[in-house]
């Protein structure tokens, strides 16, 4: 028989009226703390002497320990007691009769409580009616039995003192245990939260951990207030679990539940824990100017002092976690966002692409790169601010045309990327860009774009690889001029790799002695004498193989190595011309090729003069060859530069003449002394009349402008005869000599003199 002494809705007095019922489960459940508010200590009497139990009940009826009442439970056998104790871990004190079913039933029960159930906290007081049944002192201490009393000795006062003492010890033991478990949870929680990378994830974990600590269902909501959210009402809900999950991302203001909104607001404003009957908001703050947060969880029961202490430890842990997460998410923004335009950057793009590439069965995606033509020129002409404005405008237009989920990112300077479904990206986006909202007057108007595209369905590789492929293609498109597009074709990588390998090897070659020059004689058609030579660069690799300049010059031009290469060639040409002068040809001149990129470099003339000074060579001994396209395309800066070269005494030649589109006015204005007719015209001399007319025209034009004309690529005596007949001044080609090392040229010169 069990006496359910304590229905939470009934007072002890009601129970004490003697409602005897057989309801052991209820007895266990009814002890759950809470609903009635105040805590009750559970005291279990195990005794087959019902009368004694009755008197115990009366004796404890009005007893209070620290203001709390006793919930008295009575069972009559060790067996029943064992079942009950197995179910209910919250029984604080057991008043146990030593002799029941058997002489040692009491002691056996104690043994199984301690050793089998592992309940070390419950306080046990042995009582017996028979003197002389006392167990040994040793047994008492072994089983952690606190007291041993003869029933007859238990006066009311003594019983109260014994129970109070037992409860005090139980309180301490369980508090310790709870704190220990709580701290363990906190350590685990801190570890878990250390992995959070975003505020959203962090706040979900905060709710999980706080509710776990309090033994509540994992429901709650977290909002943060950063230094840029002016008022607490503008705090943002960053995480919610359970019923609150749908609120994430919304301002606190929009939280419909007025009570919770109120508690959270208060909590943030007053920077402290705020509670009401149904729940509480915990406050977390990070570094001084950092974000603060409030987390609301439902707790209908009052928290005990240990829980409050543990929560404050957890809160300070969460606070330091919060500043970490805030920092990490700020770093994340910085690492993945373009700071000027606030759109994704290259890192973000690669991350997004990798996710798409990883996901199986996604619809075909494409990557499009766009480069604003002549952006740096516009910036130079209009100023940096206008440049930024231009970028903003391009970014806005792209956002108008390519809407989410298509991603628009900025990679660097004026290079934008668009990543999305292929069918959206293969359409004529340039036309669509032009059709966008008209400009406000007075601002930079539409600019042309170079672009490249990689369709991921025919590309195998990571996001980063696709991006670098697209960048290589973009560079190729740009090298072809304005408004160009290059599209990836499978198999291109091999060519790219080879190109890259060569660029790398060339870079090394420039720093070793693999770069040499050969000299090709130029012949005065009037006298038949060699008066000059063109220096042509040669790359002899370590294994002795040669690479044609037609292959490596474009690479050197593309990566800027041409500047260094040009300087090496110039120095070698200087040394050659000095050797030739010393050998008896003091008027001899050597021509070097100067590429457009060299001309664009600041301080080119000074650098050249420096080399000449170091090598003790006069500028007139060196001729600078600039291709027709370079000479004509460049703006006034090119002309000024050429004027400057001329003034310094360099001789100037226009190379590959006839292949570009020269304006007569421009040609006239350039300080050039020599026109080199492109070798393509030579091939058909004597075969096709049209070519003859072109060369003829060039010769006449040059003569009229007071320039000498040199025919390149002369290979046959017929060509020589025809050129002489037309009055061409000079010639260069295999008919006379192939490009040769300096030593050979010295022999060549000596032979023709002799
Ligand atoms: P280029 O300046 O027009 O040089 C003339 C090219 O024609 C040379 O080729 C020369 O070997 C070749 N050539 C000479 N005579 C004949 C002939 O009778 N028939 C034929 N078929 N070809 C002849 P190379 O040395 O392979 O140079 C190719 C191009 O590489 C040069 O064209 C020039 O644009 C560039 N290059 C060579 N050296 C340098 C340099 O030091 N700096 C720069 N920037 N470019 C250079
Ligand atoms: Ca040349
Ligand atoms: Ca040429």
What is the average pLDDT across 687-705? Answer: 81
Crossing angle for the helix pair 742-753 and 562-582, to the nearest 10 degrees:
40
- Using CA positions, which residue lies closest to atom 20 of ligand 1? 713
Specify the pLDDT at position 22: 29
pLDDT at 658 over 80: yes
Residue 58 has which token pair?
A: 């009366």
Q: Which of 523, 535, 536 to mutate to test the pocket of ligand 1 (most atoms within 8 A of CB)?
A: 536
CA distances in angstroms from 92 to 95, 190, 368, 694, listed in the order given = 10, 32, 73, 115
Q: Which pLDDT value is given to residue 737?
A: 96
**Index of the ligand 1 atom closest to the CA of residue 595:** 44
pLDDT tier for residue 18 given thresholds of 50, 70 and 90: very low
Distance CA 691, CA 699 (A): 12
Work out the average pLDDT over 420-446.
Answer: 64
- Which of the residue ranges 274-278, 368-372, 688-692 would you say has the lowest mean pLDDT? 688-692
Q: Please state, in angstroms and rounded to a whole number, the distance separating the CA atoms of residues 589 and 625.
A: 12
Highest mean pLDDT pick, 229-238, 252-261, 515-524, 663-672: 515-524
Confirm or reject: Cβ of 360 under 6 Å from ligand 1: no
Using DSSP's 3-state secondary structure scheme, residue 583 falls into coil
Q: For 442-467, how does the pLDDT look when each residue is reduced to its tens digit (9 = 90+)?
A: 455 556 788 899 998 888 888 888 89
- Kindly identify the ligand whose nearest atom is closest to the C-alpha of 739: 1
* CA of 676, nearest ligand number: 3
pLDDT in tens, 484-502: 888 898 888 888 788 888 8
* Strand order across the 279-285 sheet: 236-241, 220-225, 292-298, 279-285, 274-275
Q: Name the phi and psi angles at 735, rounded to 5.
A: -55, -35
> Per residue in 529-544, pLDDT tens?
999 999 999 999 989 9
- pLDDT score at 288: 65
Secondary structure E strands in 52-156 = 64-65, 68-75, 91-97, 123-128, 147-150
DSSP string, 499-517: HHHHHHHHHHHTTTT-EEE
Specify the residue with its C-alpha closest to ligand 1, atom 45.
593
Return the closest-CA partner of residue 313 out of 284, 344, 353: 284
Q: How far is the CA of 550 from the centre of ligand 2 (A)?
A: 12
Which ligand minimizes its atom distance to the CA of 656? 3
pLDDT digits (tens, 9 = 90+) for 572-608: 999 999 999 999 999 999 999 999 889 888 889 999 9
Question: How far apart, in whole angstroms, are the C-alpha atoms of residue 144 and residue 123?
Answer: 8
Q: Residue 12: pLDDT above 60?
A: no
Q: Are 430 and 449 in contact (CB under 8 A)?
A: yes
Give pLDDT tens digits for 104-113: 888 888 888 8
pLDDT (0 to 100) of residue 33:
37
Output DSSP code: residue 173: H
Strand 674-677 versus strand 708-712 pairing type: parallel
Average pLDDT value for residue range 350-360 = 84
Confidence grade of residue 239 (pLDDT, cut at 50, 70, 90): confident
pLDDT of residue 357: 85
Task: Look at 184-198, 232-246, 656-670 and tell me which has the smallest mean pLDDT.
Answer: 184-198
Over residues 309-334, the mean pLDDT reads 72
Q: What is the mean pLDDT of the chain?
A: 82
Q: Which residues pair with residue 428 across a beta bridge?
A: none
The answer to whether the beta carbons of residues 118 and 69 sit under 8 Å apart is no
- Residue that the structure tokens 């929680």 belong to: 189
CA of 536 to the centre of ligand 1 (A): 6
Predicted pLDDT at 741: 97
Distance 509 CA to ligand 1 centre (A): 20
Which numbered atom of ligand 1 lies nearest the CA of 676? Answer: 3
Give, using CA atoms, the residue closest to atom 11 of ligand 1: 739
Q: Which domains does the chain have, with CATH numbers?
A: 12-179 (3.40.50.2300), 194-336 (3.30.450.40), 346-490 (3.30.70.270), 509-753 (3.20.20.450)
477 DSSP 8-state letter: H
- What pLDDT band is residue 99 in, cutting at 50, 70 and 90? confident
Look at 546 and 148; give whichever has higher pLDDT.
546
What gap in Å lies between CA 176 and CA 156, rounded to an integer? 30
Query: Considering only CA atoms, which residue is closest to atom 35 of ligand 1?
Result: 549
Between the CA of 15 and the centroid of ligand 2 the distance, in Å, is 115
With beta carbons less than 8 A apart as the criterion, state whether 370 and 393 touch. no
Going from the Cα of 722 to the center of ligand 2, the distance in angstroms, rounded, reads 22
Spacing, Cα 57 to ligand 2 middle (Å): 117
Ligand 1 test: best mutation among 593, 600, 626, most atoms within 8 Å of CB?
593
Residue 97's contacts (CB-CB under 8 Å, 6 or more residues apart) are: 46, 47, 48, 49, 52, 106, 126, 127, 128, 129
Task: Judge whether 422 and 365 are in contact, CB under 8 Å.
Answer: yes
**CA distances in angstroms from 279 to 297, 302, 336, 502, 636, listed in the order given:** 6, 9, 38, 70, 77
Distances, alpha carbon 430 to alpha carbons 398, 403, 434, 496, in Å? 10, 16, 6, 27
Of 528, 499, 515, nearest in space to 753 by CA: 528
What are the φ and ψ backbone dihedral angles of 4, each rounded to 5 degrees? Answer: -75, 95
Mean pLDDT of 714-736: 95
- Ligand 1 atom with the smallest distance to the CA of 732 is 15
Which range, 6-15, 345-354, 490-499, is most confident? 345-354
Whether residue 713 is predicted with pLDDT greater than 90 in this model: the reply is yes
Q: What is the DSSP string of 640-651?
A: HHHHHHHHHT-E
C-alpha pair distances (Å), 90 with each of 47, 49, 678: 20, 24, 103
Q: Minimum-distance ligand to the CA of 536?
A: 1
The response to whether residue 546 sits with its C-beta less than 6 Å from ligand 1 reads no
List strand residue ranges (DSSP E) for 490-568, in order. 515-524, 530-540, 546-547
| pLDDT of 677 higher than 70 | yes
């Amino acid at each position: 028989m069990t006496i359910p002494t304590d229905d939470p809705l009934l007072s002890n007095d009601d129970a004490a009226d003697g409602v005897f019922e057989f309801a052991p489960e209820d007895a266990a459940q009814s002890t759950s703390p809470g609903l009635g508010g105040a805590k009750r200590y559970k005291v279990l009497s195990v005794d087959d002497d019902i009368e004694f139990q009755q008197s115990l009940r009366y004796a404890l009826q009005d007893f209070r320990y620290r203001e709390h009442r006793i919930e008295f439970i009575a069972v009559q056998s060790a067996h029943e007691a064992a079942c009950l104790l197995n179910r209910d871990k919250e029984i604080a004190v057991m008043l146990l009769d030593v002799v029941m079913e058997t002489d040692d039933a009491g002691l056996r029960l104690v043994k199984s409580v301690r050793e089998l159930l592992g309940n070390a906290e419950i306080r046990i007081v042995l009582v017996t009616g028979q003197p002389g049944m006392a167990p040994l002192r040793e047994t008492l201490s072994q089983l952690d039995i606190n007291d041993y009393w003869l029933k007859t000795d238990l006066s009311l006062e003594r019983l109260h003192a014994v129970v109070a003492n037992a409860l005090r010890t139980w309180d301490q033991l369980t508090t310790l245990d709870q704190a220990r478990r709580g701290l363990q949870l906190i350590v685990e929680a801190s570890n878990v939260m250390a992995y959070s990378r975003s505020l959203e994830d962090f706040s979900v974990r905060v709710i999980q951990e706080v509710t776990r600590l309090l033994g509540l269902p994992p429901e709650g909501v977290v909002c943060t207030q950063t230094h840029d959210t002016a008022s607490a009402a503008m705090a943002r809900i960053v995480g919610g679990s359970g019923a609150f999950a749908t609120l994430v991302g919304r301002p606190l203001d929009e939280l419909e539940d007025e009570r919770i909104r109120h508690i959270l607001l208060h909590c943030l404003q007053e920077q402290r824990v705020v509670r009401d009957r149904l729940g509480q908001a915990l406050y977390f703050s990070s570094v001084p100017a950092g974000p603060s947060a409030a987390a609301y969880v439902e707790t209908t029961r009052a928290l005990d002092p240990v829980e409050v202490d543990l929560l404050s430890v957890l809160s300070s842990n969460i606070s330091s976690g919060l500043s970490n997460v805030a920092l990490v998410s700020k770093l994340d923004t910085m690492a993945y966002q373009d700071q000027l335009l606030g759109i994704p950057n290259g890192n973000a793009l690669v991350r997004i692409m990798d996710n798409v590439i990883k996901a199986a069965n996604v619809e075909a995606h494409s990557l499009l790169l766009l480069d604003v033509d002549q952006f740096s020129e516009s910036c130079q002409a209009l100023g940096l601010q206008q440049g930024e404005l231009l970028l903003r405008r391009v970014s806005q237009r792209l956002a108008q045309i390519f809407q989410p989920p298509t991603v628009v990112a900025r990679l660097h300077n004026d290079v934008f990327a668009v990543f999305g479904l292929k069918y959206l990206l293969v359409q004529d986006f340039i036309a669509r860009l032009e059709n966008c909202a008209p400009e406000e007057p007075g601002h930079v108007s539409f600019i042309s774009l170079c672009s490249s595209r990689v369709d991921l369905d025919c590309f195998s590789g990571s996001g980063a690889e696709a991006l670098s492929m697209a960048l290589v293609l973009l560079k190729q498109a740009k090298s072809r001029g304005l408004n160009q597009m290059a599209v990836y074709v499978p198999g291109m990588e091999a060519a790219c790799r080879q190109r890259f390998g060569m660029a790398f090897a060339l870079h090394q070659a420039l720093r070793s002695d693999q770069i040499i020059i050969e000299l090709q004689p130029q012949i005065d058609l009037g006298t038949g004498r060699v008066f000059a030579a063109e220096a042509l660069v040669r790359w002899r690799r370590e294994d002795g193989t040669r690479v044609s300049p037609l292959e490596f010059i474009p690479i050197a031009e593309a990566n800027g190595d041409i500047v260094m290469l040009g300087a090496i060639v110039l120095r070698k040409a200087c040394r050659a011309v000095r050797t030739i002068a010393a050998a008896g040809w003091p008027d001899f001149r050597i021509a070097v090729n100067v590429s457009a990129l060299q001309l664009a470099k600041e301080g080119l003339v000074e650098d050249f003069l420096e080399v000449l000074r170091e090598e003790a060579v006069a500028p007139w001994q060196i001729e600078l060859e600039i291709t027709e396209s370079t000479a004509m395309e460049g703006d006034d800066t090119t002309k000024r530069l050429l004027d400057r070269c001329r003034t310094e005494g360099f001789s100037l030649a226009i190379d590959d003449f006839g292949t570009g589109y020269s304006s007569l006015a421009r040609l006239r204005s350039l300080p050039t002394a020599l026109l080199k007719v492109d070798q393509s015209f030579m091939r058909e001399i004597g075969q096709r009349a049209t070519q003859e007319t072109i060369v003829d025209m060039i010769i006449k034009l040059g003569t009229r402008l007071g320039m000498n004309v040199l025919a390149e690529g002369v290979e046959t005596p017929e060509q020589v005869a025809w050129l002489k007949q037309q009055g061409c001044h000079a010639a260069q080609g295999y008919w006379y000599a192939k490009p040769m090392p300096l030593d050979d040229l010295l022999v060549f010169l000596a032979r023709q003199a002799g």
